[in-house]
Structure 1
Amino acid sequence: MLRQLTSRCSTIITPLICHSAEKVHSHILGERPLLINFPSHTFLRTFLDLHQFHNKDAIAKERARLSDEISRGYFADMSEIHKNHGKIALANKTIIPSLIAAKFPNLEINFSDGRCEKLPSNPEQRINDSSQTALPCVTLLSLSFRASSQKMVESWSLPVLNAFGDAGTVKIYEVSFIDSWLFSLSPVKRLFLKIMLKSSNPQRQIAYSFGDHYYFRKKLQILNLLTGYTFLLDSSGCIRWQGYGYATEEEISWLLSCISLLLDEK
């Protein structure tokens, strides 16, 4: 019976794989495949986690999660986007003091060339690993959960790249999240990464994170998945600045000023 159900799920999902190969055009990056996150992944994940049904804590945790996700869905996100165009709040005008800055949660990212990296970068590696080039002490990390927000994160990263790219003191990551259960499977993931866009600039890394990111979002208090989120991290991996949606000229000036202040802290 399990084999029959698995076969039926594959039959349903196969057309969606073809649909996900459609491309969205960006005047900056050219064409990249449209990132689609299937709502069926929640059912598949729950179906495959039957062994947890005897775990009361896991059941309670899953119920709380379902209640949270139901209360905040696509239409709520879309309604908010129509009101503020993705600008949930203004960016920070200055850096967050290090004493109260929160640590950025651990995140594993994959690149189109097959590399895998964990963020934030370990500061001890910067000191102890003499075989590698010293890591930049400031990281600009932009997160995109849907294709609609990819241009939003570019509005932050490209001005920073133009201002600090030659110095090599700021490393830029643009991370797209793929929460589809199917795309998290190794064969599909490898195929997906092969067709994704590569960055020609070593200071600007275009990466992807696969799998369930619900608890990652909870740690960062991210609710709306249709807008973009940008964070500035110091050498310890702490969040010292953040911005939302499309960047304005004034916010870019704040960001560049904050980067300069962080570089002076080292």
Structure 2
Amino acid sequence: MSPYHSQRQLGRRFILVRQRGWQGATSVVSHARTILRLQHHPRNQHQSWRLFASSPPPSSSSTRDNNKDDEPTPTLPSSSTSTSSASSSSSSKPSSSWNRLEDANPERIHGIQVNPDSLGNDILPGNMIYKTYKWTGNVRKIPVELARGYFWMVSDLKRTDSKPTLSNQTLIPESDSQPFPKLTGLFTLEDPSTTVDIPYFFLDPTAYNTNNNNNTNNNVNTVGRITLLAVTFRDNGFKMIPTWTRPFRDAFNSMMMSSSDVKVQTYQLSITEHWVLYPLRGLLTRVMRNNTPSPEDRSNTILYFGSKYVDEFRDILRMHNIMTSYVFLLDDLGRVRFAGSGEASPEEIQHLIQLTKELIQEIAGCGNNSHDGNNKRKKTKK
């Protein structure tokens, strides 16, 4: 009997100890003695190390002495090889945030300031992130939930004080501003039977043809409409919206009903991504409608159910954490000029109102270089 066969038999006998009781235990002991005898047999001396050792047995002293001059001394791999392998592994690692985000979406709004303490700085399109494994040093792109846990958004809000996006200190320059991303298939709380598309709906809601489902919004008048849009995904963020919209409405209440060239308006966008709730969208809409008695608030509340195009929509606006609220200030051409998140502080509200007044002057042509600004806007609209 070979030692390999005896080892397998010993493993099987250990499994049957409980079934056979004392007789099985005695059989295991006798079988172990058989293995020891086979290991010490001269015929199996050269391979007995494979049973219980992790490294090959050293050769005998006589053989080592006789072959000392004939065989070269084994050496470890050279340091250059290890250095080259280390350099190759390090080259595969992203060395900086720019390298990590080199495959990010080029349509992201560059003027949006992501909080330095937020994980959103490292998130790639599709909610992916690079993770470096501690023991191997390998870098792989995996979903954020696998890299940081399912509740990473909660910890991210604690680190950033519920502000993953910082408020802009100045208006995003007109030359650097980018258009608000397109999202279709929405409807207002006032008229759930009619679908609208944003940002076209913000530019001129009165010109939106509600009777034509194939409306392309070619005749939308974009003159003089400044929009403050609040976006939420969860109830926690929905509760933060009034801290932005109420003071803003009070400051520009006269301009909201004005018929002049410049008009200020506010909208709330509620996005429900859960596919489980999609069949219940009619019931949820009726509940929200009953909880919103004001007709003005109903017409200013926009709903979206589903997950199609939402991932790209969130990535462009850097809304990686959906446990809070986001606000965006759009000019008369539907371009993002300001962004913020979380619950608004009094300083942020005053700053937003001041920036909105500057934007009004820019649109109305009352600021510096007003004539050039009007020419640029006319060319842009063409």
Q: Secondary structure at the match of 2:251?
A: helix
* Aligned counterparts of 2:188 and 2:361: Cα–Cα separation in 1: 30
Which of structure 1's runs of 4+ aligned residues deviate more than 4 A? Answer: 61-66, 122-136
Residues 171-215 of structure 1 show CA distances to partners (whole Å, capped at 9, x for unaligned) of: 111112101213334xx3222211113362637712221111212
Shift of 1:137: 0.9
Match of 2:195 among 116, 132, 137: 116
How is 1:129-140 mapped onto 2 (pairs within 5 angstroms)? 137-140=225-228
Question: Which of 154, 178, 193 pairs up with 2:285?
Answer: 193
Is 1:206 the counterpart of 2:301? The answer is yes
1:230 shift after superposition: 0.5
Q: Which moved more, 1:131-140 or 1:70-79?
A: 131-140
Residue 170 of structure 1 deviates from its aligned partner by 1.5
Query: Aligned-residue CA RMSD in angstroms?
Result: 3.3
In 1, Cα distance between equivalents of 2:201 and 2:339 = 21
**Cα distance in 2, alignment partners of residues 191 and 103 from structure 1:** 33
Q: CA deviation at 1:81?
A: 1.5
Which of 38, 42, 67 aligns to 2:142? It is 67
Unaligned stretches of 5+ residues in structure 1: 1-60
- Alignment of 1:163 with 2:217, yes or no, is no
Distance 1:248 1:141 in 2: 17
1:237 is paired with a residue whose SS is coil
Equivalent position to 2:242, from 148, 151, 154: 154
Alignment-derived partner of residue 231 in structure 2: 143
Q: 2:278 aligns with which of 168, 184, 190?
A: 184
> Which one has more relative contact order, counting CA pairs under 8 Å at least 6 apart?
1
Question: Equivalent residue for 1:54?
Answer: none
Q: Percent identity?
A: 27
Cα distance in structure 2, aligned partners of 1:176 and 1:87: 18
Contact 1:104 1:238 in 2 (8 A): yes
Deviation at 1:111, TM superposition (A): 2.3
* Aligned counterpart, 1:99: 175
| Cα deviation, residue 78, structure 1 | 0.5
Q: CA deviation at 1:260?
A: 0.9
Which stretch has the larger CA shift, 133-142 or 146-155?
133-142
Paired residue secondary structure (2:304): strand
1:47-86 alpha-carbon deviations (Å, 9 max, x no partner): xxxxxxxxxxxxxx98969933434654111012223320
1:198 partner SS = coil
Distance 1:63 1:122 in 2: 28
- Distance across 2 between alignment mates of 1:135 and 1:73: 46
Change over 3 Å in CA distance of 1:247–1:233 after alignment to 2:
same
Q: Residue 256 of structure 1: CA displacement?
A: 0.3
Corresponding pairs, count: 204
Return the TM-score normalized by structure 2. Answer: 0.47
Is the 8 Å Cα contact of residues 126 and 312 (structure 2) preserved in structure 1? no
- Which residue identity lines up with residue 245 of structure 1 in the other structure? G
Q: Which amino acid aligns with 2:272?
A: I
Instruction: Map Cα deviations across residues 213-254 of structure 1 (whole Å, 9 max, x no partner).
Output: 212111112211111111000111110001111111111111
In the TM superposition, what is the alpha-carbon distance from 1:151 to its structure 2 partner? Answer: 2.0
The aligned amino acid for 2:283 is L
Kept after mapping to 2: 8 A contact 1:105/1:219: yes
Q: Which has the larger radius of gyration?
A: 2
TM-score normalised to structure 1 length: 0.66
2:346 aligned partner, one-letter code: E
Are residues 1:240 and 2:337 paired?
Answer: yes
Structure 2 residue runs of 5 or longer lacking an equivalent are: 1-124, 130-140, 210-218, 257-262, 364-382
In structure 2, distance between residues paired with 1:166 and 1:137: 14
Match of 1:88 among 161, 164, 168: 164
Question: What amino acid sits opposite 1:159 in the alignment?
Answer: P
The question of whether the paired residues in 1 share the 8 Å contact of 2:154 and 2:323 is answered with yes
After superposition, the Cα gap between the structure-2 partners of 1:78 and 1:104, relative to the gap in structure 1 and judged at 3 Å, is same
SS in 1 for 2:274: coil
Give, in angstroms, the shift of residue 124 of structure 1: 8.0
1:219 to 290, 313, 316: 316
